[in-house]
Structures are given as C-alpha cells and as structure tokens.
C-alpha cells in the first residue's frame, strides 16, 4: 500500500484531501479551491442581480457568507464538482434519479466521494481493490466488494451524502 497516494487531514481542508486522494496526487491546493469557490460566488451574484440590484432579496444575498466555502477551509459539493470538471470527470449524485436510472452496481464504478458529518472523503478502486482514502485515517484502508455496498448503504441510511464519480464527459 506504499504506492497509494494518501493525503492526511490538515486543518479543515477535507475537500482538498478528498480530491487529491481521488486523483492520486497533489493536484489541488486551498488556493485552487478558493478560486473555484470565488468564481461560483460571482456567478451566483450575477444571477441574483438579474432580479434587480435594488431588490431586498439581492441585498440580503450580498449580506450572506459564501455558500461555497467558509473560513475554516470547508468547500461545497459545487466546488468539488467544478474541480473535477477540470479533469473531465463528472459527479453523479448517488441518490439521484440519474444514478438510479443507470442501475449501476457500485462495484463496477471507479470512485465515490462521500460526505459524513461535514467531512469529505474518497472511496476509490485502485487496480481490482477498493480503498477508503479518508484523510482522517492513518493510511489507506482496504474494503472488500461486499463491504463496499454495505458501507455505502450505511452512509446513505445515516443521511450522509455520497456521490459517484468517474464518468468522463462524452463517454
């Protein structure tokens, strides 16, 4: 397991660790993710301004903190999704109609990004084996095919967010 990249938790930068563990290298920094968050904030501000910059709704929106990042280093699913698009990867929500309509067997996928109690982490298939690459662990944790389905079901049951990733756009 020495050849498996596993970035350990630093501060509240779990989204960065999640992405880097998924991609198996140091590809994203907090600055990169902050830039994506600011870009999303600006796009949201422009959409809200379309309803009128003098509106109470717009003024209230401007008073609110970013929904894409916070001062602790937590980043939203939108930031993670946009970061993955740089690599031609697309997130599909595990409990979405799209995912359900594909009738995908989790074992046949490449990776899952999970959120449990405001903590992002990656479950990734490397070779023929699954690993929990949670940055809070001391190292990669091997997961059997049987346990993968149970683990994902348990996360869903406990209200955690799970997203499947690995589909390249256009194919």
What residues make up the domain containing 141? 14-167
> Residue 58: which residues within 8 A CB-CB, separation 6 or more?
48, 49, 51, 52
Whether 110 is covered by a domain: the verdict is yes
In a domain, 4, yes or no: no
Q: How far apart are CA 114 and CA 124, in angstroms?
A: 11
The overall pTM is greater than 0.75: yes
- What is residue 103's predicted lDDT score, i.e. its pLDDT? 63
CA-to-CA separations, 137 to 9, 37, 99, 132, 168, in angstroms, rounded: 8, 27, 28, 9, 28
Residues 48, 58: contact at Cβ < 8 Å? Answer: yes
> Which of 164, 22, 143, 170 shows the shortest CA–CA distance to 100?
164
Residue 8 lies in a domain: no
Split at pLDDT 50, 70, 90, the class of 10 is: confident
CA neighbor of 84 nearest in space, from 151, 21, 132, 160: 21
Lowest mean pLDDT among 9-18, 79-88, 102-111: 102-111
- CA 30/CA 27 separation, integer angstroms: 10
The verdict on residue 77 lying in a domain is yes
Q: How far apart are CA 111 and CA 91, in angstroms?
A: 10
Q: How confident is the model at residue 2 (pLDDT cuts 50, 70, 90)?
A: low
Catalytic residues: 14, 119, 134
Residue 30, in any domain of the structure: yes
Residue 6 domain-assigned (yes or no): no
Q: What is the pLDDT of residue 108?
A: 83
pLDDT band at 161 (very low <50, low <70, confident <90, very high): low
Residue 38 in domain? yes
How many domains are there within the chain? Answer: 1
pLDDT tens string 44-69? 888 877 777 778 877 777 777 778 88
What's the CATH code of the domain at 133?
Answer: 3.90.70.40
């Amino acid at each position: 397991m020495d050849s498996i990249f596993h970035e350990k938790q630093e501060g509240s930068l779990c989204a960065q660790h999640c992405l880097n563990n998924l991609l198996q290298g140091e590809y994203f920094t907090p600055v990169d993710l902050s830039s994506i968050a600011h870009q999303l904030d600006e796009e949201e501000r422009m959409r809200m301004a379309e309803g009128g910059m003098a509106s109470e709704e717009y003024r209230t929106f401007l008073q609110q903190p970013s929904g894409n990042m916070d001062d602790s280093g937590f980043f939203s699913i939108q930031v993670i999704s946009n970061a993955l698009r740089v690599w031609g990867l697309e997130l599909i929500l595990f409990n979405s109609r799209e995912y359900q309509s594909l009738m995908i067997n989790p074992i046949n996928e490449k990776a899952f990004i999970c959120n449990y109690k405001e903590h992002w982490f990656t479950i990734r298939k490397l070779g023929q084996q699954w690993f929990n690459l949670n940055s809070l662990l001391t190292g990669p944790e091997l997961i059997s095919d049987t346990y993968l389905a149970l683990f994902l079901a348990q996360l869903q049951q406990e209200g955690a967010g799970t997203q499947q990733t690995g589909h390249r756009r256009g194919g």
